Structure 1
Amino acid sequence: MPQNKVEKGFELLDQCVTLMQGSLNSTFIDSYIEVAGNLVNNYQVQVQDGLPNAETATKLTELYTEFKNLDLAKEERRKVTQLVLLKGTMAEPLQPNHQLTPDSLGFLFVYLAEQLLGDDKRLTLLDLTAGMGNLMMTVMTNLELAGYKVWGTGVDVDDTLLTITALNSQILEQEIQLFHQDSLQNLLLEPSDFAIADLPIGYYPDDENAQNFVTGVAEGHSYAHHLLMEQSMAYVKGGGFGVFLVPSNFLETEQADKIKEWITDKVYLQGILQLPTALFKNKDSRKSIIIIQNHGEESRQAKEVLLADVPSLKDAQQMQQFFKEVSEWKNKNLN
Structure 2
Amino acid sequence: MERQIDTDQLFHVLDEMAQTLSNEGHGSYLETLALAGDNLFQGSIMQQPLSDVAFKKMEEQFKKIDQMTMERETVRKAFQLAIIKGMKQAVQPHHAMTPDGIAIFMSYLLKRLLKDQLGVSVYDPAVGTGNMLTAMMNHTEGIERAIGADVDESLIRLAFVMSNLQQYELELYNMDSVKEEGIPTVDVIVSDLPNGIYTNDEVVESFNTKPSEGRMPAEYAIIESSLRALKPGGVMLFLIPNDMFTREHSEAFRTFMRKETITLGMLQLPDTMFKAERHGKSIWMLQKQGPDVSAPQQALFAELPSFTRAEAMTDMMAKINEWFDHIYN
**TM beyond 0.5:** yes
Does residue 231 of structure 1 match 2:225? yes
TM-score by length of 1: 0.91
Which of 55, 66, 69 is equivalent to 2:67? Answer: 69
Structure 1: 4+ residue segments shifted above 6 A: none
5 Å-filtered alignment, 1:80-91, equals 80-90=78-88
Deviation (angstroms), 1:95 = 3.2
Q: Please identify, of 148-157 and 105-114, the stretch whose mean Cα deviation from structure 2 is larger.
A: 148-157
**Compared CA separation, residues 95 and 186, structure 1 to 2 (3 A):** closer
Deviation (angstroms), 1:285 = 1.1
Aligned-residue RMSD, C-alpha: 1.9
Q: Percent identity?
A: 26
Deviation string 1:130-169 (CA, Å, 9 cap, x unpaired) is: 11111111111221xxx43432100111111111111111
CA distance in 1, matches of 2:92, 2:106: 23
Contiguous gaps of at least 5 residues in structure 1: none
CA distance in 1, matches of 2:144, 2:77: 18
Asked whether the equivalents of residues 178 and 226 of structure 2 are also in contact (C-alpha less than 8 Å), the reply is no
Paired residue secondary structure (1:222): coil
5 Å-filtered alignment, 1:98-109, equals 98-109=95-106
Contiguous gaps of at least 5 residues in structure 2: none
Indicate the residue corresponding to 1:7 in structure 2: 8
Does residue 299 of structure 1 match 2:293? yes
Deviation string 1:204-225 (CA, Å, 9 cap, x unpaired) is: 1222321332211244311110
Indicate the residue corresponding to 2:160 in structure 1: 166
Asked whether the equivalents of residues 156 and 182 of structure 1 are also in contact (C-alpha less than 8 Å), the reply is yes
Indicate the residue corresponding to 1:142 in structure 2: 139
CA distance in 2, matches of 1:126, 1:26: 30
Indicate the residue corresponding to 1:33 in structure 2: 34
CA distance in 1, matches of 2:40, 2:165: 7
5 Å-filtered alignment, 1:258-277, equals 258-277=252-271
**Compared CA separation, residues 86 and 68, structure 1 to 2 (3 A):** farther
Deviation (angstroms), 1:119 = 2.7
- Output the amino acid matched with 1:24: G
- Output the amino acid matched with 1:44: S
Paired residue secondary structure (2:155): helix
Asked whether the equivalents of residues 273 and 307 of structure 1 are also in contact (C-alpha less than 8 Å), the reply is yes
Deviation (angstroms), 1:98 = 1.9
Asked whether the equivalents of residues 166 and 178 of structure 1 are also in contact (C-alpha less than 8 Å), the reply is yes
TM-score by length of 2: 0.93
Deviation string 1:258-292 (CA, Å, 9 cap, x unpaired) is: 22111211111111111111111112111111111
Asked whether the equivalents of residues 211 and 251 of structure 2 are also in contact (C-alpha less than 8 Å), the reply is no
